[in-house]
Amino acid sequence: MIEIKGLSKTFPSGRGVVNALCDISFSIPRGTTLAIAGKSGSGKTTLLNCIGGLECPDSGSINSFGINIHTLKKKQLSLFQRQNMGFVFQFGNLLSFLTVEENIAFPLILNKMYCNKERKERVADLLEKIGLPELSSALPSELSGGEMQRIAFARAIAHHPKILIADEPTANLDTKTGHKLIELVFSLAKQEKCTIILSTHDQELIRFTDKIVNLLDGRQIKNE
Amino acid sequence: MLFWIKTAALFLVRSSRTSIILTLMVISAVSCLIFLSSLAMGVNDAMIRNSVGLFSGHISGYNIPDNIQKTDLAVKGVANVLQRVEVIGFLHFKDQIDQIVLVGVEPDQERKTSAFWKKTIKGRFIKKGSIEIFISEPVAKRLGAKCNDLISFSLEPGFKESQFLVAGIYKTGISQLDTGIAFCDIETIKHGTMENYAGKHKYFWNGAVFLNDGVDMDMVLQKFQNKIPDHVNFQTWKQLMPDLEQLISLNYFSMSIVIVIVFIIVSLGITSAFSIFILKSIREYGIMKVMGVTSIQTVSLLCWEVFLINIAASIFGVIFGIIIVSVFQKTGIDLTAWTSHNQYFIVSGVIFPRLTAYSLLLPPLSALVFSLPAAIWPAIMISRKNAAEILRGDG
């Protein structure tokens, strides 16, 4: 279970202080999927960043499987993220100097999971599942947007995280490719018993998820 | 750790364009600094070579009794020993007279080892077995003598005179060698026409000891002192020419200052280049941070990147530096136009750069020492900023 209580976050700007998030509260049971929906600038990314521990809220708490992640020290937070979380961003954010295979293996090595042979098998299995086994030795610069996002998902779930956080993962893809990708990711995540939290402004995509949190100007307007 | 070394290597290899530019920068800096410090060594070597090679040798022995042979001084490390016998007397030509020290030398050995004979300005150097004299330009002027003139020598005015043919006239530009000295074949003094002087008195000889390159002068001197009686006085070029020793120390000091300044400038360039190189890829470190890479691991990765690129570039830089120095070691750098009136470059103004452990190791070590801090600032920045800030580009 992930519990968010009274989460608020402000950013300084040229025009004063911007309220990016204001008193957000909701919970997500383990293994469910949640969509954070809202227009551009509504605070979706900020909320995801706070949940993922990439950003520190001004107030409120995020209890992730019994741990208030913002009370953790830097190193403890890094270890928590490394073991329990997988991230996918709008532009994939693959490590440009590593091949597809090395990118997917990176979190496995960080977590000291599997021996060399098993690691290779895990990577090959994931590549097979996302339908890109032939790209194992390609560099990110050689991939299309859709391929890059699929690889990013494979990397994010490679180490069996408890939470998968995806920030507008289909924003740069055409609708058909985007929906295919989400179907694939959701089926993979289900196999891994992974909680998925994604942000999107695509109403079609929201239908795939179990829960929705709607944001407008940093405020939660509806919780289903 | 192996994982981070491998990751750092992959980062460098696959960021090839930036890595190559950075590598070339370090290579050129390291090789230039190696050449610069080798050149400084070469200038000092040239001054010593010129000064000792002209006449005195590395070690000069005075008042060596005739029961000690040249071979007694030919210990390990000695290239040659030139035997010289001196008598004080007067040169006469027509109605002119000049007091001089007549030095008997071994003409063939002098030609082989010293450079003194190269300073001939008229005529030629004396030949072995001839009754010839080699006089300086000031002596020739005072006497009004020219080449092929017959001039007389006597121990004191009115004493028995010996006739010498003026074989050549020389000029070194060094007052000690140009004033009041003339040269003849040593046999002339020991057994020939000068028997009157040498035969009646037990003669003492002076030795100019020339050492092989890189031989420790003090070690040779120690061997002499163990072998030769105490009353024989040996002096090294440092004792004979304290001004040269001081000049060399000054040269080392000033060149060290120049090299340090160049090092600082080059190092600032290297540090800046490395910082830019790291900051250019800051997003990659942000992504790694998102995946749970700790600050210490980031610092370790950055340091490995800097270390690996430095090692690779330093190896090439050292090789390139050695090649440049080797080329100039063979050809030499002719600075005669700037040294012709300098007594420390009296024989030759050609500089041969010389590599030393100092000149070979200091540049790559400095490159490493100065570039590692370049990793610190970006590393601190990455560890202080949160991942979202780095990915947003606020870093």
Cα gap A86→A155, rounded to integer Å: 8
Q: Which residue of B has its CA nearest to A77?
A: B292
B163 and B29, same structural domain? no
Q: pLDDT at position A196, please?
A: 92
Cα gap B104→B345, rounded to integer Å: 25
Q: pLDDT at position B198, please?
A: 46
Reported as a pLDDT band with limits 50, 70 and 90, residue B201 is very low
B residues 258..297 contacting A (CB < 8 A): 283-284, 287-296
Kindly state whether residue B257 falls inside one of the protein's structural domains.
yes
List the single best residue of B291, B299, B383 to mutate versus A (max A Cβ within 10 A): B291
The lowest-confidence range among A126-135, B14-23, B151-160, B341-350 is B341-350
Which one of B211, B233, B254 terminates a domain? B211
What number is the average pLDDT over the span A148-165?
Answer: 91
Give the ranges where chain B is alpha helix by DSSP (H).
Answer: 2-14, 16-51, 70-73, 107-113, 137-143, 175-178, 186-190, 195-198, 217-227, 237-240, 242-280, 282-290, 295-331, 336-339, 357-384, 387-392
Cα gap B318→B310, rounded to integer Å: 11
List the single best residue of A90, A95, A168 to mutate versus B (max B Cβ within 10 A): A95
Q: Which residue of B has its CA nearest to A107?
A: B291
Which one of B168, B186, B211 terminates a domain? B211
**Distance in Å, alpha carbon of B293 to nearest chain A alpha carbon:** 6
Q: Cβ separation of B293 and A82 shorter than 8 Å?
A: yes
B102 and B153, same structural domain? yes
A82 touches chain B (CB under 8 A): yes
Instruction: Read off the DSSP letter of residue B181.
Output: E
B109 and B15, same structural domain? no
Q: Which amino acid is at B383?
A: S
What number is the average pLDDT over the span A11-32?
Answer: 86
B368 and B298, same structural domain? yes
Q: Is B80 helix (H, G, I), strand (E, B) or coil?
A: strand
Q: Which residue of A has its CA nearest to B296?
A: A75
Which one of B211, B236, B258 terminates a domain? B211
Q: Which residues of B touch A139 (CB under 8 A)?
A: 14
A residues 4..43 contacting B (CB < 8 A): none
A97 touches chain B (CB under 8 A): yes
Q: Which residues of A touch B11 (CB under 8 A)?
A: 97
B157 and B117, same structural domain? yes
C-alpha of A40 from chain center: 18
Q: pLDDT at position A17, please?
A: 84
Q: Cβ separation of B287 and A95 shorter than 8 Å?
A: yes
Q: Which residue of A has its CA nearest to B8?
A: A97
φ and ψ at residue A209, rounded to 5 degrees: -95, 160
**Cα end-to-end span (Å), chain A:** 16
B252 and B386, same structural domain? yes
For residue B377, what are the domain limits? 2-52+244-392
B248 and B298, same structural domain? yes
* Plot region of A175 (φ>0 → left; ψ -120 to 50 → alpha; else → beta): alpha
Q: Which residues of A touch B5 (CB under 8 A)?
A: none
B126 and B198, same structural domain? yes
Contact B157, B179 (CB under 8 A): no
Sheet holding A163-167, edge to edge: A67-68, A59-64, A2-13, A16-28, A219-223, A211-216, A33-38, A195-200, A163-167, A85-88
Kindly state whether residue B204 falls inside one of the protein's structural domains.
yes
Q: Which amino acid is at B89?
A: G
B384 and B258, same structural domain? yes
Strands A211-216, A33-38: pairing is: parallel
Measured between CB atoms, which of B14, B290, B295 is closest to A87?
Answer: B290
Cα gap B325→B71, rounded to integer Å: 37
Q: pLDDT at position B168, please?
A: 95
B155 and B87, same structural domain? yes
Kindly state whether residue B233 falls inside one of the protein's structural domains.
no
What number is the average pLDDT over the span A56-70?
Answer: 89
- The neighbouring-strand residues paired with B88 are B101
Residue A172 has pLDDT above 80, yes or no: no
B277 and B203, same structural domain? no
Q: Which residues of B touch A110 (CB under 8 A)?
A: 291-293
Among residues of chain B, what percentage have pLDDT more than 90?
A: 31
Among residues of chain A, what percentage have pLDDT more than 70?
A: 99
The two three-digit tokens of residue B24, written as one number: 């070339």
B386 and B265, same structural domain? yes
| pLDDT per position as a tens digit, B150-195 | 999 988 877 777 889 999 999 988 888 888 899 999 988 876 545 4
The mean pLDDT of chain A is 88
Residue B196 has pLDDT above 60, yes or no: no
What number is the average pLDDT over the span A132-143?
Answer: 91
What number is the average pLDDT over the span B315-324?
Answer: 94
Cα gap A201→A182, rounded to integer Å: 14
Cα gap A148→A151, rounded to integer Å: 5
Reported as a pLDDT band with limits 50, 70 and 90, residue B394 is low
A74 touches chain B (CB under 8 A): yes
Kindly state whether residue B216 falls inside one of the protein's structural domains.
no
Count of structural domains, chain B:
2
Kindly state whether residue B222 falls inside one of the protein's structural domains.
no
- The neighbouring-strand residues paired with A34 are A197, A211
